[in-house]
């Protein structure tokens, strides 16, 4: 019987509702699966055959600690997704690597905390028209993320305060134009399980104004089932392949991540030219919305059990 840890955070000790279903599906397959809080110092990670990262959404302000934890687990057990993926994918700078590999991403200005930005310097880096978004490069659950209006002086001022707050905490700031189609067409999430396309869901817009701080570790999302276009699934598959190639070519050509990723979620939006662009490649702790697609829960549970027994 495999012992499987579903890693979660202290705010969700009994997992998010989706992952509670996964735990039950694993139990139904004869595995011993339990929710385990990632930063609980009493846990013996070596006692698990597989540690699956799930709702660990509180690491954004302490990524180093989280990656250190992943290294520990990697030494004594099996981690999914594996350590190199966790190291790379918990910081949205990975978007630059994907862009270099030919994946279209949402155009982004990166403001690094190693530089000192005056209010004036921040001001000049914001768009002159339309709405724009300020968000941290290490983020989960739309926390610390806000939407601002370029021509409104008050809104610009709030954006400057927001960026300063993040930079002051040593965090990289991402500035993006607000992608208008998120309000109309919505954001699409395409889920891959064990390297195979599984299902897609539609996500409603998350941002309606400045960052005012949110209680909890994530903002509630409005999701619905989605039948995607073939072209978009191919775009999503291309992003996953680019990530795989990235690991395959680093460190002297040794493939750091030889197996297909246990899970991948590709978040896609449409730009002003009507083309798909990558918002985020979620390889660490994505909600998989297995309740919104027939067969998805079973596919995921089967893949987890197979990985634990391999
Ligand atoms: N440039 C953007 N245009 C429109 N909406 C955005 C933009 N950036 C972020 N958002 C909204 O904020 C949400 C969270 O941003 P995201 O980059 O996915 O970070 P995370 O999910 O890791 O917190 C997105 O799902 C989307 O609704
Ligand atoms: Mg997201």
Span 14-28, pLDDT tens digits: 999 999 999 999 999
Question: Rounded to the nearest 10 degrees, how much is the dihedral formed by the CA atoms of 137, 74, 79, 54?
Answer: -50
Long-range pairs, 84-88, Cβ under 8 A, ≥24: 84/247, 84/250, 84/256, 84/257, 85/243, 85/247, 85/257, 85/261, 85/283, 85/284, 86/53, 86/284, 88/246, 88/247, 88/283
User: How does pLDDT run across 190-213, given as a tens digit for each residue?
Assistant: 999 999 999 999 999 999 899 988
- Rounded Cα distance between 158 and 29, Å, is 51
Residue 51 has pLDDT above 70, yes or no: yes
Q: In the block, which residue shows the tokens 């996953």?
A: 240
Q: Which residues line ligand 1 (CB under 6 A)?
A: 106, 133, 135, 139-142, 145, 176, 178-179, 182, 187, 203, 205-207, 267, 279-280
Q: Provide the token pair at 3.
A: 């012992």
At residue 228, φ and ψ (nearest 5 deg) are: -85, 165
Using the Cα atoms of residue 68, residue 71, residue 77 and residue 82 in order, give the sign of their dihedral: positive
Q: Please name the residue whose Cα sits nearest to atom 11 of ligand 1.
A: 206
Cis peptide before 81 (omega within 30 of 0): yes
Tens-digit pLDDT profile for residues 269-278: 999 999 999 9
Question: How far lies 287's CA from each of 8, 116, 190, in Å?
Answer: 12, 36, 11
Write out pLDDT tens, residues 108-151: 999 999 999 999 999 999 999 999 999 999 998 889 999 999 99
**Over pLDDT 70: what percentage of the chain?**
99
| Residue-level pLDDT at 18 | 92
Please classify residue 123 by burial: count the beta carbons closer than 10 Å to its beta carbon, then call 0-12 exposed, 13-18 middle and 19+ buried. Answer: middle
Q: Are 231 and 150 in contact (CB under 8 A)?
A: no
Q: Which residue has the CA at smallest separation from atom 26 of ligand 1?
A: 206
Distance CA 48, CA 50 (A): 5
pLDDT of 109 = 97
Report whether 114 contacts 178 (CB < 8 A): no
Q: How far apart are the CA of 279 and the centre of ligand 1, in A?
A: 7
Q: What is the model's pLDDT at position 214?
A: 75
Banded model confidence at residue 57, pLDDT cuts 50, 70, 90: very high
For ligand 1, mutation pick of 138, 202, 207 (most atoms within 8 Å of CB): 207
What pLDDT is attached to residue 276?
97
| Backbone torsions φ then ψ of 153, nearest 5 degrees | -60, -40
Residue-level pLDDT at 243: 95
Active site residue 222: yes
Question: Looking at residue 90, what is its pLDDT?
Answer: 98
pLDDT above 80 (res 249): no
pLDDT > 90 fraction of the chain, expressed in percent and rounded: 90
Report, as an integer, the average pLDDT of 232-243: 97
Please report which confidence band the pLDDT of residue 250 belongs to, taking 50, 70 and 90 as the band edges. Answer: low
Give me the residues near ligand 2 (ion), CB cutoff below 5 Å: 280
* Catalytically annotated residue among 187, 280, 282, 285: 282
Q: Tell me the C-alpha distance between 294 and 123, whole Å.
A: 48
Closest atom, ligand 1, to C-alpha of 131: 3
CA 205 to ligand 1: nearest atom: 27
Single out the catalytic residue among 71, 96, 219, 222: 222
282 is catalytic: yes
Place of tokens 């709405």: 131
Token pair belonging to 113: 């905390």
286 Cα–ligand 2 center, Å: 8
Domains of the chain: 3-89 (3.40.50.20), 109-177 (3.30.1490), 181-288 (3.30.470.20)
- Cα-based distances in Å from 76 to 37, 70, 72: 17, 10, 7
Q: Across residues 212-219, what is the average pLDDT?
A: 82
How much is the pLDDT for 264? 98
Check: CB of residue 147 under 8 Å from CB of residue 210.
yes
Residue 216 Cα to ligand 2 middle (Å): 16
Probe target for ligand 1 pocket from 95, 172, 279, 283, with the most ligand atoms within 8 Å of CB:
279
What is the rounded distance in angstroms from the CA atom of residue 206 to the CA atom of residue 168? Answer: 25
Ligand nearest to the CA of 214: 1
The arithmetic mean of pLDDT across residues 218-245, rounded, is 94
């Amino acid at each position: 019987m495999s012992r499987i840890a579903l890693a979660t955070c202290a705010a969700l000790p009994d997992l998010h509702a989706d992952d509670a279903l996964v735990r039950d599906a694993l139990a139904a397959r004869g595995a011993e699966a339990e929710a385990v809080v990632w930063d609980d110092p009493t846990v013996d990670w070596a006692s698990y055959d597989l540690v699956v990262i799930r709702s660990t959404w509180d690491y954004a302000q302490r990524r180093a600690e989280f990656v250190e934890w992943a290294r520990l687990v990697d030494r004594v057990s099996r981690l999914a997704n594996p350590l190199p993926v966790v190291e790379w994918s918990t910081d949205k700078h990975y978007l630059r690597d994907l862009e270099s590999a030919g994946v279209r991403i949402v155009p982004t200005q990166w403001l690094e905390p190693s530089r000192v930005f005056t209010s004036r310097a921040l001001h000049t880096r914001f768009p002159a028209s339309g709405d724009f978004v300020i968000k941290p490069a290490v983020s989960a659950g739309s926390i610390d993320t806000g939407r601002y209006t370029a021509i409104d002086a008050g809104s610009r001022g709030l954006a400057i305060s927001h960026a300063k707050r993040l930079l002051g905490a040593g965090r990289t700031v991402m500035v993006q134009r607000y992608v208008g189609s998120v309000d109309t067409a919505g954001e699409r999430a395409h889920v891959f399980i064990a390297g195979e396309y599984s299902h897609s869901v539609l996500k409603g817009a998350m941002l309606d104004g400045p960052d005012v701080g949110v209680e909890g570790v994530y903002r509630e999302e409005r999701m619905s089932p989605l039948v995607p276009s073939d072209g978009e699934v191919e775009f999503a598959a291309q992003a996953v392949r680019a990530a795989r190639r990235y690991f395959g070519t680093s460190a002297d050509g040794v493939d750091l991540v030889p197996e297909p990723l246990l899970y991948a979620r590709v978040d896609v939006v449409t730009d002003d030219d009507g083309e798909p662009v990558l918002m985020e490649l979620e390889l660490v702790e994505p909600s998989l919305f297995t309740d919104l697609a027939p067969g998805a829960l079973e596919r995921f549970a089967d893949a987890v059990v197979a990985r634990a027994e391999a």
